[in-house]
Structure 1
Amino acid sequence: MTVNDDSFTNWMHREEIAESMIPIIGKLHREQDVNVLLHSRSLVNKSVVSILKTHRFARQIAGEELSVTETMPFLKALTTLDLGPSQIDIGMLAATYRSDGRGLSVEEFTAEAVAGATGDNKIERRASRDVVLYGFGRIGRLIARLLIEKAGSGNGLRLRAIVVRKGSGQDIVKRASLLRRDSIHGQFQGTITVDEANNKIIANGNEIQVIYSDDPTTVDYTAYGIKDAILIDNTGRWRDREGLSKHLQPGIGKVVLTAPGKGDVPNIVHGVNHDTVKPDERILSCASCTTNAIVPPLKAMADEYGVLRGHVETVHSYTNDQNLLDNYHGSDRRGRSAALNMVITETGAASAVAKALPELKAPITGSSIRVPVPDVSIAILSLRLERETTREEVLDYLRNVSLASPLKRQIDFISAPDAVSSDFIGSRHASIVDAGATKVDGDNAILYLWYDNEFGYSCQVIRVVQHVSGVEYPTYPAPAV
């Protein structure tokens, strides 16, 4: 047998194992509300090749490839336990088991590592929480996709309705079509049908009521069987408490804004300050995509090295606010063609740091350049640190943060030397540290942070909504503090 034959035989063996993982992962998700992860990446509803690629990606952050032959025993061990709702990272189980020298079996080690989610310790499965989307643009449709994807267990969050202004012609058919096909993020994973007579979109069995309204104060959501819902405002039309309070109509319990909030509206970056949300807070903001990209790594660097001052330069993909061709615009420069120019514009991300990370007293400045790409941006974070360090130390630290810290769902890490922006379309992290571009000279550090300003941000919004709705389940093994 040739070497190539050996490689192909090994591939087929791993394919067979990955294929056998799928029904186990699906059953844990549907019947016990357990989300199986691999280094913070969900394996639920993933294909055989996707599972294998996720295992292989581990080499980028952990230094060596992780094989399905290593993780499968831990997955099997989970099926023998009385698990409650939780997120369990089999990649972390395998990694920590390697370094555990007590001689425990895989079954014994797994039972101990996830003990907080078993038996008398497990939390009860909660009833689903209704969600309403106000607006159905780029972010709204991606949030809809995520909500539908996560509805498999029948618990957690349930998308009940979207509220839009009625357009001319086949409005609901056109909106369903935009949900079904996306030029950047690809096709919807599942089936979508339209019930025009009842103004409903049915996506993977989820009936979504389309409500037509130009004024939030005119909608009674209880008329559609919706109660105590979380309303996600994707329009950005209202930014302060007075304006957002218009959404607090019958059937709505909380309002979440997908844009920076003004005044006393809390700006929440999941992973950094989501635990400061008061239970009785009814209105909050998820800040901006750039704020979500820079605040987690900024916090990580401040915790370890201290930060005296910083500047963030964002090279941002163009947005729907800009003009396709030169035309009048209320803001300076944004009237010039987004597809043909680099456009200098303002960013509120630097000033928003103070709201999300008030303990950081260092001044942070910022500016932004819009460039002719439709998605994925990069933030160049230049920091003056309180102590000198080395590039190797910073990279080792950030790699570990991405693997085993409470910020591992926010910060990703890549060492590929040829990575470009399109490689990060669909990333579920708030930002990705580019190891090859990182520069450190004494007490100066420059981090290059990629981020999918559409999908990664939408994932952060969902995490905030899960937290405030009480369906954000604990992760095991518990991240290092």
Structure 2
Amino acid sequence: MTATEDSFTNWKTREEIAESMIPIIGKLHRERDVTILLHSRSLVNKSVVSILKTHRFARQIAGAELSVTETLPFLHALTALDLGPSQIDLGILAEAYRSDDRGLSVGDFTAEAVAGATGDNKTERREARDVVLYGFGRIGRLLARLLIEKTGSGNGLRLRAIVVRKGAGQDIVKRASLLRRDSIHGQFQGTITVDEANSRIIANGNEIQVIYSDDPTAVDYTAHGIKNAILIDNTGRWRDREGLSRHLRPGIAKVVLTAPGKGDVPNIVHGVNQDTIKPDEQIISCASCTTNAIVPPLKAMADEYGVLRGHVETVHSFTNDQNLLDNYHNSDRRGRSAPLNMVITETGAASAVTKALPDLDAKITGSSIRVPVPDVSIAILNLQLARGTNREEVLEHLRNVSLTSPLRRQIDFITAPDAVSSDFIGSRHASIVDAGATKVEGDNAILYLWYDNEFGYSSQVIRVVQHVSGVEYPTYPAPAV
């Protein structure tokens, strides 16, 4: 057999194994509300090739490719356990088993590693929590995609309605079409139909009521059977407690804002300060996409090295609040053509750091440049550390943080020497450390952090919503603290 034939035979074998994993992953998700991950990447509803690519991607963060032949035995072991709702990371399981020297079988090791999710310890499945989207623009439609994706088990979060101002013509048909096809993020994964008579969009079996209103105080959500819902305001029209309180109508229990909150509205970056949310808090902000991108790696660096001061320069994709061509705008520079210019603008991300990391005794400044790309931005974080270090040590630290720490869903890590912005479209992490661009000299470290300012941020918003709704299930094996 030639080397070419041997490689092809190996590929076909791995394809067959990955194919056998799909029904197991699907059944665990539907019947037990268990999400199977591989180094924080969900394998639910993924294709054979996607599963193989995810295994291969492990080499970027773990230094070596994971094989489906390694992870399949752990998946089989999970099916034999009395599992409750949880997230199980096969990558972490395989890594931990490889370094364990007790001679345990895969079954015994797996049972021990996920003991907190089995038997008397397991979390009970909760009733689905209603969610309402107020606004249906770039972030609103991505939130809808994520919410629909996560209803496969029938539990967790359930998108019940969207609230929009009615447009001319076939409004609901046009909105459904925008959900179905996206120029940046591609086709919706599933089927979408429209029930114009009842003002509903049906996406993968989810009946989503379209409510037309321009006034939050005029909507009675209980008339649509909505109760105890979390409303996500992605319009940014109201940002203080007084304005956002207008949403607290019958049927709405909490309001989550997808923009920086003003005044005493808590700004939450999931992975960093979600545990500070008070149980009776009704209004929460998810801060900005840039704040979510810089705060987790800033915390990771501060915890390990200490940070005395820093500056963040964001090179940000253009957004809907800019003009397509030169025209009047309340902001001078943002009135200039977005696809034709680099535009210097302000960012509140640096000042927002203190809200998410109040214990960080360091001055962080920031500025921003909008550039002619439609999605994916990069934050350049220039830090003066409390102690000297070197590039290798910093990269090893951040790689480990992305792999095994509580911040592993927020921070990703890539070593590809030819990575460019479009490679990160669809990333669910808050930020991705570019190892090749990282610079360290003594007590000065410069980190280049990619982030999908649309999809990565939307993923962070959903995590906050899951947390406040009580359906943020624990992950096993537990990440290192």
Same fold (TM over 0.5): yes
Paired with 2:412 and 2:336, the residues of 1 have a C-alpha distance of 34
Distance in 2, Cα, partners of 1:3 & 1:329: 62
Name the aligned partner's letter for residue 45 of structure 2. N
> Residue 466 of structure 2 aligns with which residue?
466
Three-state SS of the structure 2 residue aligned to 1:412 is strand
Question: What are the superposed Cα offsets for residues 328-373 of structure 1, whole Å, 9 maximum, x if unpaired?
Answer: 0001200000000000000000000000110001000000000000
CA–CA distance in 2 between the matches of 1:69 and 1:186?
32
> Partner of 1:448: helix, strand, or coil?
strand
Specify the code of the residue in structure 2 equivalent to 1:443: D
Post-superposition CA distance 1:185-230 (Å, at most 9, x none): 0000000000000000000000000000010000010000000000
Distance 1:124 1:183 in 2: 40
Q: Which residue of 2 aligns with 1:283?
A: 283
3-state SS in 2 of match to 1:319 = coil
Q: Separation in 1 of the partners of 2:160 and 2:45?
A: 22
* Deviation for aligned residue 1:389: 0.1
> Where do 4+ consecutive residues of structure 1 move more than 3 Å?
none
2:349 pairs with 1:349 = yes
Match of 1:336 in 2: 336
- The correspondence of residues 114-263 of structure 1 with structure 2, limited to 5 A, is 114-263=114-263
1:322 & 1:55 partners in 2: Cα distance?
A: 40
Q: Residues of 2 paired with 1:345 and 1:123: CA distance? A: 47
CA distances 1:92-147 after superposition (whole Å, capped 9, x unpaired): 00000000000000000000000000000001000000000000000000000000
Q: Deviations over 1:265-294 (max 9, x none)?
A: 000000000000000000010000000000
Tell me, what secondary structure is at the counterpart of 1:154? Answer: coil
**Secondary structure, counterpart of 2:440 in structure 1:** strand
Task: Report SS of the residue matched to 2:450.
Answer: strand
Residue 358 of structure 1 pairs with residue 358 of structure 2: yes
Aligned counterparts of 1:214 and 1:277: Cα–Cα separation in 2: 29
For residue 403 of structure 1, report the CA deviation from its aligned partner. 0.3
Counterpart amino acid of residue 95 in structure 1:
E
Q: Which amino acid aligns with 1:434?
A: D
Matches within 5 A, 1:398-413: 398-413=398-413
Shift of 1:12: 0.2
Q: Corresponding residue for 1:448?
A: 448
1:168-193 CA-to-partner distances (Å, cap 9, x unmatched) read 00000000000000000000000000
| Aligned residue pair count | 481
> Aligned pair 1:18/2:18, yes or no?
yes
Normalised TM-score (structure 1): 1.00
**CA–CA separation in structure 2 for the residues paired with 1:91 and 1:17:** 16
2:426 maps to 1:430: no
Instruction: Give the superposition deviation at 1:4.
Output: 0.3
Q: For residue 36 of structure 1, what is the aligned residue in structure 2?
A: 36
Secondary structure at the residue paired with 1:339? helix
Q: Partner letter of residue 436 of structure 1?
A: G
The DSSP-based 3-state class of the residue aligned with 1:37 is strand
User: Aligned AA for 1:333?
Assistant: R
State the one-letter code of the partner of 1:22.
I
- Structure 1 residues 234-289: Cα deviation after superposition (integer angstroms, max 9, x where no partner): 00000000000000000000000000000000000000000000000000100000
Listed as ranges, the gaps of 5+ residues in structure 1 are none
> Secondary structure at 1:255's aligned position in 2?
strand
Q: Does 1:90 align with 2:75?
A: no
Where does residue 81 of structure 1 map in the other structure? Answer: 81
Q: Distance in 2 between the 1:34 and 1:212 partners? A: 36
Residues in 2 aligned to 1:36 and 1:188: alpha-carbon distance in whole angstroms: 22
- Partner deviation per Cα, 1:22-77 (whole Å, 9 max, x = no partner): 00000000000000000000000000000000000000000000000000000000
Displacement of 1:392 in angstroms is 0.1
Report the counterpart of residue 325 of structure 2 in structure 1: 325
Distance 1:91 1:362 in 2: 36
Amino acid at match of 1:379: A
Q: Which amino acid aligns with 1:309?
A: R
- CA distance in 2: counterparts of 1:22 and 1:323, whole angstroms: 45
Between the aligned partners of 1:370 and 1:112, the Cα distance in structure 2 is: 50
CA distance in 1, matches of 2:77, 2:318: 47
Structure 2: how far apart are the matches of 1:356 and 1:386?
A: 20
Aligned-residue Cα RMSD (Å) equals: 0.3
Identity %: 88
For 1:5, the equivalent position in structure 2 comes to 5
Cα distance in 1 for residues equivalent to 2:145 and 2:215: 25
Distance 1:298 1:153 in 2: 35
Partners of 2:92 and 2:17 in 1: how far apart?
19
The whole-number CA distance in structure 2 between the counterparts of 1:68 and 1:392 is 30
| Alpha-carbon offset, residue 458 of structure 1 | 0.2
**Structure-2 separation of matches of 1:301 and 1:288:** 20
